[in-house]
Structure 1
Amino acid sequence: MTQANNVAPLFRDLAKVEHEHHVACQSCALYRLCLPLGLHSDDLAQLDKIIKRSQSLSRNQSLFDSQAPFKSIYVVRSGAFKTTISASNGREQVTGFYFPGEFIGMDAIYSQSYQSTAKALETSSVCELPFERLQEFGAAMPQLQVQMMSRLSKELSSDKNLMVLLGKKTAEEKMATFLVSLSRRFQDRGFSATEFQLSMSRGDIANHLGLAVETVSRLFGRLQDDRLVRLEGKSVTIEDLEALQKLCG
């Protein structure tokens, strides 16, 4: 079994073990990717008391819905999620994909209501951070406020990158950029940069990139013919990462 095939089960097993033993933030395998990084141990222990660790969400189960009152920020603990917004004509736009250690719901802080609907792409779990309690802690913990600002900045950067991706790049550049982005995100989580699973459907990918599903399938076929990637079901192997990066435009 390849490392790519092991990614999702490992995250699910990790979450199960940590739920059963109530592991604190500092002992979590995702600690270095998450909000509490850099806090003193006493502060971290206090913060850990307000974090709610969810039971598993099944595939397609909603974490929150658009326009629901904002109460908490969520950190993906295992599995993966997608966020969508609904246009006036009823069509949905996939605005993002989220993996372990990444935050969901940050864009709701200003409006005090969630701006999108978040659904699990597979069996998943989250850590819930009640925002009012976070604010209380932030007043006494400058490092926590720094981390919050850093996360907000990252959200803004991602939004701008998506605008460029959808508006300025060719279909081939969009696909290459998407795969390279996933590669980097999996590498940040300690997994292979060249072997991973696509937890989202091709329809979701097409929607996110502003392409037709047929175009996505054709692009995957072209990348395979050029021996840049290899696909087996939902498993992706990047065979020439440098060449793929050059295609990003």
Structure 2
Amino acid sequence: MQTLHETSALAPSACSRHAGQCSTCALRQYCVPQGLSNTDTDKLQSVIVNARAIRRGETLFRVGDTFDALYAIRSGSIKTVVTSANGRDQVMGLHLGGDALGLEGFDDGTHACRAVALEDSSVCVIPLSTFERACRETIAIHRRLLQLLSREVVRKSTQTMILGTLRADERVAALLLDISSRLTCRGYAGNEFNLRFTRDDMGSFLGITLETVSRTLSRFQAKGLLQADGKLIHILDFDGLRAV
């Protein structure tokens, strides 16, 4: 089965018919650099050659794929995964609408992880060559790239801290609060949301077992901190969850 990366080299006419419109995107305030003039916004929009749909379970790119494009999630959610030497998958991140994907490719020109859609999603495809040219021509776009890279550094540092210093229940609470905060920033409800991660994905991401995740969520529910109905999470007591 081909990845989206392998099928992304479409003719310009085909791409333009599906080009993402930054000016009308619901995530404009989160994704597009602040303070861009209309001309600069048009320039940024011109480098987005395609808005592509990805079905749940489809792979956007794999480890070793050539890094020739950045991706911005327009809708849905995507997880990034690496495979250890013993063949076990390790979930490295959960990415929501407005997040950029593929930034790790700046290191050596190839992707260092696998990106898999957690639900039916869509991404804006931004060819690296045209994006680099836009960065050279527009300081706001270049600054936005630095912000995205900085955000990834902070996110990875936070994950390292969570894995290295927090107990299992603290890790689960921190993840739920982080997802809530990120959804709120995007204008969505932060107290009730569908957790696109499976329990197994959560365990992999947090460095704990599936059973520990399930037991922890059950304890949180028994304490009145939240209600969990399948993937639907309803946070009832934010202060209590922060105090775990």
Fold shared per TM-score above 0.5: yes
| 1:113 pairs with 2:110 | yes
AA paired with 2:83? S
SS at match of 1:54: strand
Conserved? CA contact 1:202–1:216, under 8 Å: yes
Residue of structure 1 in register with 2:10 after alignment: none
If the length of structure 1 is used for normalisation, what is the TM-score? 0.88
Does the residue aligned with 2:53 lie in a helix, a strand or coil? coil
SS at match of 2:52: coil
Shift of 1:54: 3.1
Q: Please, what is the CA RMSD of the aligned residues?
A: 1.5
Gaps of 5+ in 1: 1-18
Distance (Å, rounded) in 2 between the aligned partners of 1:146 and 1:133: 16
Q: Which residue of 1 aligns with 2:65?
A: 68
1:214 and 2:183 aligned:
no
Amino acid at match of 2:26: A
Deviations 1:159-189 (A, max 9, x none): 0001011111100110010000001011011
Higher relative contact order (CA 8 A, sep 6+): 1
Deviation at 1:52, TM superposition (A): 2.6
Shift of 1:23: 5.8
- Partner SS state of residue 84, structure 1: strand
**2:19/2:51 contact within 8 Å kept:** no
Is 2:223 aligned against 1:243? no
Aligned pairs for 1:139-178 (under 5 A) are 139-178=136-175
Counterparts of 1:200 and 1:193 in 2: how far apart (Å)? 16
- Supply the distance in 2 between the matched residues of 1:183 and 1:47 (Cα, whole angstroms): 29
Q: Distance in 2 between matches of 1:125 and 1:23?
A: 10
Distance apart, 1:134 and its partner CA: 1.1
SS in 1 for 2:98: coil
CA–CA distance in 1 between the matches of 2:193 and 2:39?
A: 37
| 2:27 alignment counterpart | 30
Query: What amino acid maps onto 2:86 in structure 1?
Result: N
Given that residues 105 and 111 in structure 2 are in contact (C-alpha distance below 8 angstroms), is that contact kept between their aligned partners in structure 1?
Answer: yes
Cα distance, 1:36 vs structure 2: 3.8
Deviation at 1:35, TM superposition (A): 3.6
Q: Structure 2 unaligned segments of length 5 or more: list them.
A: 1-15
Instruction: Indicate the SS of the match to 1:33.
Output: helix
Instruction: Give the C-alpha shift of residue 243 in structure 1.
Output: 1.2
Contact 2:50 2:126 in 1 (8 A): no
Residue of structure 2 in register with 1:56 after alignment: 53
Per the TM alignment, residue 245 of structure 1 is displaced from its structure 2 partner at its CA by 1.3
Contact 2:63 2:114 in 1 (8 A): yes
Q: Which amino acid aligns with 1:44?
A: T
Verify: 1:228 aligned to 2:230, yes or no: no
1:89–1:31 CA distance, 2 compared to 1 (3 A):
same
Contact 1:35 1:148 in 2 (8 A): no
Deviations 1:26-65 (A, max 9, x none): 2211101114432111111122122033332111100000
Determine the C-alpha separation between the residues in 2 that align with 1:234 and 1:152. 30
2:37 corresponds, among 36, 40, 50, to 40
**What's 2:86 paired with?**
89
Distance 1:119 1:159 in 2: 19
Aligned equivalent of 1:77:
74
Q: Which runs of 4+ in 1 moved over 3 A?
A: 19-23
Q: TM-score, normalised by structure 2?
A: 0.90
Partner SS, residue 55 of structure 1 = strand
Q: Deviations over 1:49-92 (max 9, x none)?
A: 22033332111100000111101111111111000001111111
What is the aligned residue count?
Answer: 229
Q: Which residue of 2 aligns with 1:5?
A: none
In 2, distance between residues paired with 1:152 and 1:36? 14
